[in-house]
Amino acid sequence: MNALSKLINKNKENKIICVGLDTDIDKIPSHLLNTTNPVLEFNRAIIDATKDSVAAYKINFAFYECNGAEGFNNLKSTIDLIPKDILIIADAKRGDIGNTSDMYAKSVFNYFNCDSVTVNPYLGEDSVKPFLNYQNKLIFVLALTSNPGSADFEKLKLENGKFLFQSVIEAVNKWNTNSNCGLVFGATQFDELNKNINSFKNLPVLLPGVGAQGGSLEDVVITFKAHNRSNFLINVSRSVIYKSHGIDFAFAAKEEVEKMNNIIYKILNQ
């Protein structure tokens, strides 16, 4: 099953939540620190508790790479825990000259066996193409991100009157010849989402920023429904995986996802 099919199948079940496994050993419940591998045990519990309720998992590579060889082993082992019908997104934000991007793509897709990756488009098409050559994968290209610093460059106005992020969206639509492109668009950028959603055309959208960053789940879902749009993911990380710091942390994460799913279901089916 290719990556886009995994997303479509889950969206048909009204599942659009993507749980971010941004696991920080300094934030996980203290009782896990007595286990052989606290990070992996935390991830295993979160995945087991939420796997029936989510559309995808997004694994932020930085939280694993910082721990060297042990971190890479935990990254690979975490990926192996995720059921095969659930989309796995490598949140690596790769972007470099072509031959380097080719190696990054081989790492993400051939070694770690992820279904999808986030990429930075600001070196141009040749930096993204090595990822796009994997026709069965899904490449989420940064358009307008959820952080305050997005205004520094992404919202710069060009000579043609368009914002830089709008030119990125246009380019990604052109690159989507294999139907394997998507966009990253911050849920915190709600006004821009409303104004630009029609320009997304058929591109799947990954929306970070709901929860700890302040984006509104309800507003995003209502907007996508109003525009008759499907094939999107709302990413939540800290507000789910750290919902509780007690022995009930996995159950608390499950309850939080199910709470969001109930909100989503009511909006999509009213």
For residues 13-18, average pLDDT: 95
**What tokens were used for 132?**
């796009």
DSSP sequence for 6-57: HHHHHHHTT--EEEE----TTTS-GGGGGSS-HHHHHHHHHHHHHTTT-SEE
Helix (H, G, I), strand (E, B) or coil at 64: helix
Task: Record the pTM.
Answer: 0.96
Taking the C-alpha atoms of residue 247 and residue 232, their distance in angstroms, rounded to an integer, is 32
Taking the C-alpha atoms of residue 266 and residue 262, their distance in angstroms, rounded to an integer, is 6
Contact between 140 and 206 under an 8 Å Cβ cutoff? The reply is yes
Helix (H, G, I), strand (E, B) or coil at 267: helix
Min mean pLDDT across 67-81, 134-148, 208-222, 226-240 is at 208-222
The third-level CATH classification (topology) of the domain covering 3-269 is: TIM Barrel (3.20.20)
The pLDDT of residue 270: 80
Contact between 239 and 212 under an 8 Å Cβ cutoff? The reply is yes
CA-closest candidate to residue 104, choices 123, 125, 90: 90
The pLDDT of residue 211: 72
Report whether pLDDT(118) > 70.
Answer: yes
Of the pLDDT bands very low, low, confident and very high (cuts 50, 70, 90), residue 212 is: low
Place of tokens 């942390």: 249
| DSSP secondary structure letter of residue 235 | E
Q: pLDDT tens digits for 82-96?
A: 999 999 999 999 999
CA-closest candidate to residue 40, choices 80, 68, 92, 93: 80
Q: Is 162 a catalytic residue?
A: no
User: Which of the residues 51, 93, 129, 155 is marked catalytic?
Assistant: 93
For residues 157-174, average pLDDT: 96
Taking the C-alpha atoms of residue 240 and residue 267, their distance in angstroms, rounded to an integer, is 21
The residues spanned by each domain of the chain are: 3-269
Taking the C-alpha atoms of residue 197 and residue 205, their distance in angstroms, rounded to an integer, is 10
Q: pLDDT tens digits for 231-244?
A: 999 999 999 999 99
Cα dihedral sign for 82, 184, 254, 229? negative
